[in-house]
Structures are given as C-alpha cells and as structure tokens.
Amino acid sequence: MTSVRFEDPELAARWCAKARAAGSLAFVPTMGALHAGHLSLVHAAAAENDQLCVSVFVNPLQFDDPRDLERYPRDFDADAALLAEHGCAMVFTGTLERFFPETEGANTIVLRDPGPGARGLEGDHRPGHLAGVATIVARLFELVQPTRAYFGEKDFQQTLVVRHVAARLGYPEVRVCPTSREPEGLARSSRNALLSEAGRGRAARLSRALFEARVAWQSGVREPGELEAVLLAALLAPGVDVEYAAVRDPERWTAALPAGPLERARALVAARVDGVRLIDNLLLSDP
Ligand code: AMP
C-alpha cells in the first residue's frame, strides 16, 4: 500500500477536507522516528475510523534545548514507508513558515495558553515546551479538523494540554492510548535510539521505579510523600540524573504535591541518562 504524502500543509488540509466529507477522519500527530509506540496509536486510529492521516514534524517551538532539537532523530522517507504499511492514507510534514504563513518568522508566532495541566513538573523543567505543544497541536487540528485525534499516555501532561486545546476549539475527540513498553519495561521513545547499551540498562530504572510505586499503592500506601520516596529510592543511581519523581492526583492536577491521603494517584518521573532526557509515568490506582 502507498500513502499520499505532502510537504505543504495547505495541500494536506485540502486532502483532509475531502476525506472528512467521506466519513470519519483520524489524526495522529508525531515527530517521526517512528517506533512500535507510535504504531499502537496508528493501529487504534485505523481501526476506529474511515481514514487516517499522520503528521511528522519536529516542532522547534516545543524544544527548550537547541542541542536536543538538533540531534532529534529524523527519517521522513522511512516513516512514510512504515505508515503506508500500517493503514495510513496520508502523511504530511511542513516547516514553521508553512504551518504559520501569517507570521514573519518563528519569533513572531503567538504561543497558545497550554492550560492548567502545564503547571509543575514538565512545565517547571521545560519552560515553554507545553506552550509550544499547544501551539502546534492547535494549528494541526485547524488544518486537519479530525473527527478523532490519538495521543500516548506516555506524555501525560501533554494529554492534559491537548484536551485543553480540543475543549477550546470544540473538536476533535481526543483518545489516549496506553504506553507501549520494551520487554524490560522501558517506555518506547524515539530518544531511546540515542542511548548506549549501558545507558539503556540504567534507563530501565524509570519504569521499575513506577512499578515499585504501584506495588506500594497496592499494599495500601496513600501518602504522596511516601510514594515519592519509593520512586526516588528505586531511581537514584550513578548515571541517572533525576529531574523529578512525583505523585499527583491525575483528575485534580496540581503544580505541587497534593495533600494525602490520595484517592487516585499517578506517578511521573523524568531523568537524564547518557545526557538523553527520558520521561515516563504510570497510574498507580485502578482506572
Ligand atoms: P512524539 O513523536 O514523541 O511526539 O510522539 C507522538 C505521539 O506518540 C504522542 O502522542 C506520544 O505520546 C505518542 N507516543 C510516544 N511514545 C509512545 C509510547 N511508548 N507508547 C504510546 N504512545 C507513545
């Protein structure tokens, strides 16, 4: 199977308008370097809709670190070929200039308010990142006007921001798909390709810490501070530079540690391994 491919978002928008007229249109926004985690979103989207399109765009607005942006893996041809094999009818990319033709250069793009889900954790450690996400996601939604859009639970605060953007626009229906993991537990990420073999071993601590916190929850621990201590004890090791190890009530997002005892909890971690920034999270309570 081949899929249609556009490097001009305007042409992609025209294709989407036709697809929408014929039935439901699913959309999966990505930054490419596609892996099985992305494909799990693609499969869910293809199964639930008449047509599916995917964007592949490494969005400079959401990078707070220029080095991270520069070394982010990119292979549009390989991504487009893979997507065609997995039920994607159209794939598109673009540039900041093409996505925001009304502006005069990246510095003049007006950033969107990412909403309350951007407070704390990622919001503190990557200033501007979630506003950059909100801005590109809103523009992509306006271009595609999808029936449903698919995101990964792996980027939990991003899902809060995307839901905020969709609520403001009045569309699309947002679907959040479970985190796809390597057999040893490591959350799949395009950035994993940048890890050394030893680094990959150390990176497995992130998911291990989350699952240990879940065991603590299941054994009755409800105080957020105690759950955070479990996370930290499992994470801390030479070569794992922890940025945060936190617990939040996922339905009442707060920038700071919520008061316990908790009725619901999600654990969230961020750490650098081999200089690569990794994030992961896990719902501790029952869904
Ligand atoms: P990215 O290319 O990293 O911007 O990711 C594109 C989409 O795929 C986002 O909605 C991510 O949350 C999602 N995603 C990335 N990694 C995973 C994973 N391991 N499991 C599920 N979804 C993922």
Tokens 């040893």 correspond to what residue?
184
pLDDT of 12: 98
Same domain, 95 and 67: yes
CATH of the domain at 65: 3.40.50.620
Which residue from 55, 130, 154 has its CB within 8 A of the most atoms of ligand 1, so it is best to mutate? Answer: 154
pTM: 0.97
**214 and 162, same domain (yes or no):** no
What's the whole-number mean pLDDT along residues 244-270? 97
Full residue range of the structural domain in which residue 246 is found: 190-283
Q: Residue 3 — pLDDT band, cuts 50, 70, 90?
A: confident
38 is a catalytic site residue: yes
Task: Tell me the per-residue pLDDT of 220-229, one tens digit each, with 9 for 90 and over.
Answer: 999 999 999 9
Pocket of ligand 1 (CB under 6 A): 30-31, 37-38, 40-41, 151-152, 154-155, 177, 179-180, 187-190
pLDDT over 90, % of the chain: 95
Q: Inform me whether the pLDDT recorded for 1 exceeds 80.
A: no
* Residues forming a β-bridge with 152: 177
Q: Say what the alpha-carbon torsion angle 116, 120, 125, 129 is, to the nearest 10 degrees.
A: -10
- pLDDT attached to residue 2: 63
Counting ligand 1 atoms within 8 A of each CB, the residue from 31, 34, 35, 41 with the most, and so the one to mutate, is 41
Closest ligand 1 atom to the C-alpha of 158?
12
Provide the token pair at 125: 């450690």
In-domain check, residue 184: no
Query: 224 with 162, same domain?
Result: no
The pLDDT mean for the chain works out to: 96
pLDDT digits (tens, 9 = 90+) for 125-141: 999 999 999 999 999 99
- In a domain, residue 2? The reply is no
